[in-house]
Chains A and B, each alone.
Chain A
Amino acid sequence: MVNENATLAVPVVSARGLRKRFGRTEVLRGLDFDIPPGRIYGLIGHNGAGKTTTLNAILGLSSYEGTVRVLGEDPFQKRAKLMENVAFISDVASLPRFLRVRELFALLTNIHPSFSQEKARSFLEGTDVKMEQRIKNLSKGMIAQLHLAVVMAIDARLLVLDEPTLGLDITYRKRFYRRLLEDYMTEERTLLITTHQVDEIEFMLSDIMFIRDGALVLHMQMETVSSKFTQLVIADPANVASARALKPIFAETRFGQTVMIFDGVDRDALAAFGAVSTPTLSDLFVALMQRDPGVGAV
C-alpha cells in the first residue's frame, strides 16, 4: 500500500488496524489510513471489497476491531453526537417516504441543529421537487436531488456518499456532482465518496483509496498518481518485448494495440516504445484490482 498524504493537519478520519469479521469471513483486514480536512476522497473497489463496511465503521453504523476516530470521536460509541458534524447518503432511497418535502424540512429543522431550511429550499429551486409533494411520489432522480439538498443544507465537516447516484441516468449523475462541487465544497469540508462510476468523479477527487479484499492497495493524492503511474500504448508489436522488460503492472491488447501500465518507470524511457499518458482512474483500477498480476498480461 502506498500512502503519500504527508500532512500536518489533524485528520478528520483516522483508522488504525481496522478489522471487521462477519462470522468466519474477515471483510476488513487491518486498514490504516488518515483523511485530512478539505480533501475529496474516492474509496474505490469491487463489489464485496469492503467499501460499505469501511464507511459503516466510519459512520458508527457497525462495530469493528481496531481504532477509528472521526473528528476525534469513536464513531460507534458517539454516533449521535458525531452526526451533528457528519452527513451521509448511503442509499438514495432512504428518505422517509411517508413525508411531504415540507414536513421533512420542518422535522429536520427541529432534529438537526446544523440543518438550514432556507439553504435546503434554495438548493431545490430550479428542480422539479415541490414542497407539498410526498417523497413516495417523487422519481428516483428527484429523490436524489432532494437528498442532496438535505445533506448540503447541513453544515457538516464530513460528508460521506456511498454510491449516491446508483440507478440514476447520466444527466442526474453529472448534475449531482457538479452541484456538490460548486455549492458545497469548501476548504473546511471533507468529502468521502464510493462509486462504481469511477470516471465520473475522477475530475473532482483530490485523493483515492483502492480497496481489494478488505485491504487498501493504493492510497494516494491524485497529483501523485499522474507522476507515478504511466500508460503506454504500443502500436508496433516489435516494441512489446522491450517494454515488458520494464515490468508493467498490467498489460492488455485493445484493438490490435498493446496497452501497458507502469508503476514508477521513467516516462522518457517508455516514450521510445509508444504513446505515453497518465492512465485514467478506471484503467488504473482495473490494473491494480487484479488478484493475479499475470492474468491481464498479454
Chain B
Amino acid sequence: MKALAALIHRELLEHKGAFLYAPAVLLGLFTLTLASAFAFNKVKVPIEVGMPTAVKFYEMAFLGMAGLWFVYLMIALFFYFADAFNADRRNNAMLFWKSMPVSDFGILSSKMLSGMTLFPAIIFFMLLVTGLVLYGMTGVATVALPRLVVPTVPEILSSSVQVVSVALVYFAVAMLWYAPFFAWVGMLSTLVGRWSIPLAFLIPGLAVLGENLFVRGLPEIIGGFLFGGGPQGGYIADYLGRRFHFGPEQNLMRDAFLSDTPVNAMVLIENLFSGLDWVQLAGGLIVAALMVFAASEYRRRVVAT
C-alpha cells in the first residue's frame, strides 16, 4: 500500500499542471471575473427569467459550476490517460521504473487509480472552493441587487450540503461509469502513445461503419437480410450511445435549476441511481480492469525501454 500511495503521489507530481495549477488558475480567473462584474456593476438579470432568491442564485451558480468542473475533469482525464500510460516511455524513464520492485500492473494500476480517485478529488476540492467564492459573491450580490433578500446562514448551509451531496455522488458514480472508456484510452496509449487520442474515437467509429456497411448494408444491397432492421445506426452505435449517456432526466435537472424550491439532493441522487444500469457499471469495471491488465502485459513483454 505504501508503494501504491507513493506511485499515486508520483502521478500528482507529474501531472500537477493539469490537475492542480490549471484548475487553480481557472478558479482565480473565475473569482476575478465575478468580482469585477460586481465591482463595475455589470450584472444583469433578464426580465423574462425574473429575479431569483439569493439562495436560488447561489444554488444555480453552484450547480452550474459543478457541471463546468465536471466537464473540465472529463477532458483533463481523457488527455491524462492518453498521456500517462505511455509517459514513462516517452520520458525515457521506463528503465528507471522497471528497476523498481513494482510490477507493470502495479504501475499502470496506480495511474488508473490516480485518474479515478485523486484527480477527481482535487477537482471536487476546487468545486468546494468555488462554492465559498460563490457564497461571498452572493453576499455581494445582495448589496448590488437590493431586491435580493440576504439569505440566512442555515439556508446557505442547507443549500450547500444539497449541492455538494449531488456533486459528490455524481462525480463518484461518473468515474465508475466511465472507467472502461478511460481504461480504453490508457490501453491504446500503452500501444501507440498519443495516437490514442484520435484512435480512441476512430476505432469505435470504424466498428460502427463496418457494421453498417458489411452486416447491415451489404446484405440489403445484395438482396439478403441477415439481422433485420435493428436500432438506428446499428447495434454498436446504439450500445455506445447508451454507454456514454450519464446523468439524471433532463426535466429533473431543469426543474432543480429553475423552480423556486431549493435543490433536493435525494431526488436527484435517487433519479440517478434508478436510471443507472448497474450490471453495465459492474461489467464496465471488470472490462476496465482487464484492459489495464492487458496493457500491463504488453508493457511487461514488449516495452523494454
**Chain A contact residues, CB within 8 Å of chain B:** 56, 59, 61-63, 79-84, 86-91, 93-99, 103, 106-108, 110-113
Check if A79 sits within 8 Å of B103, measured CB to CB.
Answer: yes
Q: If A97-B91, A107-B9, A111-B7 touch, does A83 touch B96 (CB 8 Å cutoff)?
A: no
Check if A111 sits within 8 Å of B92, measured CB to CB.
Answer: no
The residues of B that contact A89 with a CB separation of less than 8 Å are 99
The residues of A that contact B99 with a CB separation of less than 8 Å are 59, 83, 86-90
- Cα–Cα, bound, A88→B6 (Å): 21
The residues of B that contact A113 with a CB separation of less than 8 Å are 101
- Cα–Cα, bound, A84→B102 (Å): 9
Check if B102 sits within 8 Å of A110, measured CB to CB.
Answer: no
Check if A110 sits within 8 Å of B3, measured CB to CB.
Answer: yes
Could you say which of A84, A86, A94, A103 contacts B13, with CB atoms under 8 Å apart?
A103
Could you say which of B2, B5, B98 contacts A79, with CB atoms under 8 Å apart?
B98
Residue of A nearest to B7 (CB): A111
Q: Is B304's beta carbon under 8 Å from chain A?
A: yes
Shortest CB-to-CB span from A229 to chain B, Å, is: 35
Check if A81 sits within 8 Å of B13, measured CB to CB.
Answer: no
- Cα–Cα, bound, A61→B101 (Å): 13
Shortest CB-to-CB span from A107 to chain B, Å, is: 5
Total residues of chain B contacting the partner, CB 8 A: 27
Shortest CB-to-CB span from A69 to chain B, Å, is: 18
Check if B91 sits within 8 Å of A111, measured CB to CB.
Answer: no
Check if A90 sits within 8 Å of B95, measured CB to CB.
Answer: yes
Check if A91 sits within 8 Å of B95, measured CB to CB.
Answer: yes
Check if A83 sits within 8 Å of B100, measured CB to CB.
Answer: yes
Check if B93 sits within 8 Å of A96, measured CB to CB.
Answer: yes
Q: If A80-B102, A83-B100 touch, does A94 touch B93 (CB 8 Å cutoff)?
A: yes
Shortest CB-to-CB span from A122 to chain B, Å, is: 21
Check if A111 sits within 8 Å of B102, measured CB to CB.
Answer: yes
8 Å CB interface, B95-152 against A: 95-103, 106
Q: Is B260's beta carbon under 8 Å from chain A?
A: no
The total number of A-B Cβ pairs within 8 Å is: 77
Shortest CB-to-CB span from A184 to chain B, Å, is: 16
- Cα–Cα, bound, A103→B12 (Å): 12
- Cα–Cα, bound, A72→B6 (Å): 29
Q: If A80-B103, A107-B10, A110-B5 touch, does A96 touch B304 (CB 8 Å cutoff)?
A: no
- Cα–Cα, bound, A97→B10 (Å): 12
> Which interface residue of B7, B102, B304 has the most chain A CB atoms within 10 A?
B304
Check if A84 sits within 8 Å of B9, measured CB to CB.
Answer: no
Contact with A along B2-42 (1 / 0, CB 8 A): 11011101100110000000000000000000000000000
The 6 closest A-B CB pairs, nearest first, are: A110-B6, A83-B101, A80-B103, A94-B96, A90-B95, A94-B95
Shortest CB-to-CB span from B34 to chain A, Å, is: 34
Apart from A79-B103, A97-B91, A110-B5, what 19 extra A-B contacts exist at CB < 8 Å?
A: A56-B304, A80-B102, A80-B106, A82-B101, A83-B98, A83-B99, A83-B100, A83-B102, A84-B101, A90-B95, A96-B91, A96-B93, A97-B93, A99-B10, A99-B13, A107-B9, A107-B10, A110-B6, A111-B100
The residues of B that contact A97 with a CB separation of less than 8 Å are 91, 93
Q: If A107-B9, A110-B3 touch, does A94 touch B102 (CB 8 Å cutoff)?
A: no
Shortest CB-to-CB span from A64 to chain B, Å, is: 11
Q: List 17 A-B contacts (CB under 8 A).
A: A61-B98, A79-B98, A79-B300, A80-B101, A80-B102, A80-B103, A83-B98, A84-B101, A87-B99, A91-B92, A93-B92, A94-B92, A94-B96, A97-B93, A98-B13, A111-B7, A111-B102
The residues of A that contact B208 with a CB separation of less than 8 Å are none
- Cα–Cα, bound, A86→B101 (Å): 9
Q: If A80-B101, A84-B101, A87-B99 touch, does A110 touch B2 (CB 8 Å cutoff)?
A: yes
- Cα–Cα, bound, A39→B134 (Å): 68
Shortest CB-to-CB span from A81 to chain B, Å, is: 7
Shortest CB-to-CB span from B213 to chain A, Å, is: 35
The residues of B that contact A82 with a CB separation of less than 8 Å are 101
- Cα–Cα, bound, A139→B99 (Å): 22
Shortest CB-to-CB span from B86 to chain A, Å, is: 14
Shortest CB-to-CB span from A151 to chain B, Å, is: 8
Q: Is B287's beta carbon under 8 Å from chain A?
A: no
- Cα–Cα, bound, A90→B97 (Å): 11
- Cα–Cα, bound, A205→B305 (Å): 27
Q: Is B245's beta carbon under 8 Å from chain A?
A: no
Shortest CB-to-CB span from A192 to chain B, Å, is: 14
> Which interface residue of B98, B106, B305 has the most chain A CB atoms within 10 A?
B98
- Cα–Cα, bound, A107→B96 (Å): 13
The residues of A that contact B94 with a CB separation of less than 8 Å are 94
- Cα–Cα, bound, A81→B3 (Å): 13
- Cα–Cα, bound, A113→B98 (Å): 15
8 Å CB interface, B173-209 against A: none
Q: If A99-B13, A103-B13 touch, does A111 touch B101 (CB 8 Å cutoff)?
A: yes
